[in-house]
Amino acid sequence: MKLDPLKKFTEWLDKEKKHGQNKMPTACCLSTIGLDGAPNARYMSIKGVTDKGIIITGVSSVKGEEMNKTPKVALTFWWPTNFRQVRIRGNVINLSEEDDNKIFDSCDERIKLISWASNQSKEINDPFKIEKSFKQYSKNFANKTIPKPKHWHAYLIEPEYFEFMELDPKAFQIRLVFSKCEQSWEKKYIQP
Ligand SMILES: Cc1cc2nc3c(=O)[nH]c(=O)nc-3n(C[C@H](O)[C@H](O)[C@H](O)COP(=O)(O)O)c2cc1C
């Protein structure tokens, strides 16, 4: 049978969503390689899963600059209601303008307006100015389709490595690894 770790990932994500207690099961730690060569990390919410990988979005932010310079990242999910961790390593692929537009259109209005109002990761002398800017864009775009800002992009994380870990407080952890080898996947267990 063909190994499909993305399918397993989706099943685990769906199980965490169904449990209903995790308010943000799509949240994960996105690790990048900083412009100075040192690691950098922050939480992100993934925007979707396709048969090619995982979609995340960004703007001309620090993470955007880092992924442009070194298009390799790690995503780490912790799903407390099922006591599971998933670690993914992969390549960052820039999506087409058409895909960017489709993904932006699917975001909720508040996210769209924040994308216009905030120049993410840039210094600001007064943080309350964002509120003003947000209100101004809300007015400008009232009853209009909000277009995608030029600096807003979606990225496909094309996985090369998965580790699925199940924590069992009464037993040893099970660590299941899938590594990409050419066009197929190899599967093995590693010790806790
Ligand atoms: C649970 C959680 C989810 C987040 N989701 C996103 C997200 O989807 N997109 C985003 O740009 N920032 C998100 N953030 C904020 C990021 O952690 C980070 O502050 C922001 O992306 C700027 O990071 P950068 O300066 O390294 O680019 C989230 C933060 C948390 C705690």
Biggest CA-to-CA distance, the chain: 58
Q: What share of the chain is helix, strand, coil (3-state, %, to 5)?
A: 30, 35, 35
Q: Enter the pTM of the model.
A: 0.94
Q: What is the pLDDT of residues 112-137, one digit of tens each?
A: 999 999 888 888 888 888 999 999 99
Q: Is 62 in the pocket of ligand 1 (CB under 6 A)?
A: yes
> What pLDDT is stored for residue 59 in this prediction?
80
Nearest CA to ligand 1 atom 31: 43
> What pLDDT is stored for residue 133 in this prediction?
93
Q: Is 24 in the pocket of ligand 1 (CB under 6 A)?
A: yes
Nearest CA to ligand 1 atom 14: 44
CATH class of the 5-104+150-190 domain in this structure: mainly beta
Nearest CA to ligand 1 atom 30: 43
Q: What is the pLDDT of residues 18-28, one digit of tens each?
A: 988 999 999 99
Please tell me the distance between residue 18's alpha carbon and the centre of ligand 1 in angstroms.
24
> What pLDDT is stored for residue 58 in this prediction?
82
Q: Is 42 in the pocket of ligand 1 (CB under 6 A)?
A: yes
Contact between residue 99 and residue 78 where contact means Cβ atoms under 8 Å apart:
no
Q: Is 82 helix (H, G, I), strand (E, B) or coil?
A: coil
Q: Is 39 in the pocket of ligand 1 (CB under 6 A)?
A: no
Q: What is the pLDDT of residues 71-109, one digit of tens each?
A: 999 999 999 999 999 999 999 999 999 999 999 999 999
Q: Is 55 in the pocket of ligand 1 (CB under 6 A)?
A: no
Q: Is 153 in the pocket of ligand 1 (CB under 6 A)?
A: no
Q: How many Cβ atoms sit within 10 Å of the Cβ of residue 181?
A: 9
